[in-house]
């Protein structure tokens, strides 16, 4: 059960992510940024600003975005987006590994995720795309009181999906979708799997 950066690096290095070679109309990349805090690790999340016509308006996510033609690859895109969105420079941060690519179900998109470690409390300056940035302890993901199934409608498709409430405000958005999938894989690979939801049958 990894609760330190070095332990995370060892566990991520022990398994290989599944990287997509399929063709997608859109590719994106995100950064899962970790830091040590007391007896646990914290992950950095963003809450996107609300913009009409933006399919990810108001959602919780990792810093990141679309891969530009000028990017040398998805990792560069993740680092560029973190700098643009939060003025967070990850170019010298410790890279711990990569998670499996996650394709979208409602549209042709594939997202790559890279795991970084930083120290201290960097000043984060969200740009116009970001409503707020915040750190969340990993032990919150294992709290049954923060888990629930919710119905979502995305691109005219309705789905019942697992969620985790990271912010204490009950009116705030919850973690779900692609970012939830990344956290689900990450927590499993570091030996701290998100528990089965109350409605799920482990058999």
Per-residue pLDDT reduced to its tens digit, 139-191: 998 888 898 888 877 667 777 888 999 998 888 899 988 999 999 999 999 99
Task: Assess whether pLDDT exceeds 80 at residue 202.
Answer: no
User: Is the CB of residue 50 less than 8 Å from the CB of residue 97?
Assistant: no
Place of tokens 């707020």: 132
At 203, the pLDDT band (50, 70, 90 cuts) reads very low
Question: In the chain, where are the structural domains located?
Answer: 5-141+174-189
DSSP-derived letter for residue 37 is E
Nearest-10 Cα torsion for 64, 66, 67, 71: -60
- Architecture of the domain made up of 5-141+174-189: Alpha-Beta Complex (3.90)
Least confidently predicted of 68-82, 109-123, 132-146, 189-203: 189-203
Task: Assess whether pLDDT exceeds 80 at residue 24.
Answer: no
């Amino acid at each position: 059960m990894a609760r330190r950066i070095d332990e995370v690096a060892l566990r991520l290095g022990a398994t290989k992510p599944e990287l997509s070679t399929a063709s997608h109309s859109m590719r994106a990349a995100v950064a899962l940024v970790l830091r040590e805090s007391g007896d646990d690790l914290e992950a950095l999340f963003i809450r996107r600003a609300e913009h009409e016509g933006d399919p990810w308006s108001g959602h919780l996510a990792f810093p990141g975005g679309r891969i530009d033609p000028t990017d040398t690859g998805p990792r560069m895109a993740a680092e560029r987006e973190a700098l643009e969105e939060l003025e967070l420079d990850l170019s010298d941060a410790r890279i711990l590994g990569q998670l499996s690519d996650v394709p979208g179900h409602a549209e042709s998109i594939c997202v790559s995720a890279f795991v970084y470690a930083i120290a201290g409390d960097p000043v984060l300056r969200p740009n116009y795309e970001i409503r707020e940035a915040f750190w969340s302890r990993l032990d919150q993901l294992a709290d049954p009181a923060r888990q629930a199934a919710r119905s979502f409608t995305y691109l005219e498709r309705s789905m019942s999906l697992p969620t985790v409430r990271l912010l204490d405000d009950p009116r705030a958005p919850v973690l779900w979708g692609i970012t939830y999938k990344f956290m689900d894989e990450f927590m499993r690979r570091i030996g701290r799997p998100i528990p089965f939801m109350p409605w799920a049958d482990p058999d």
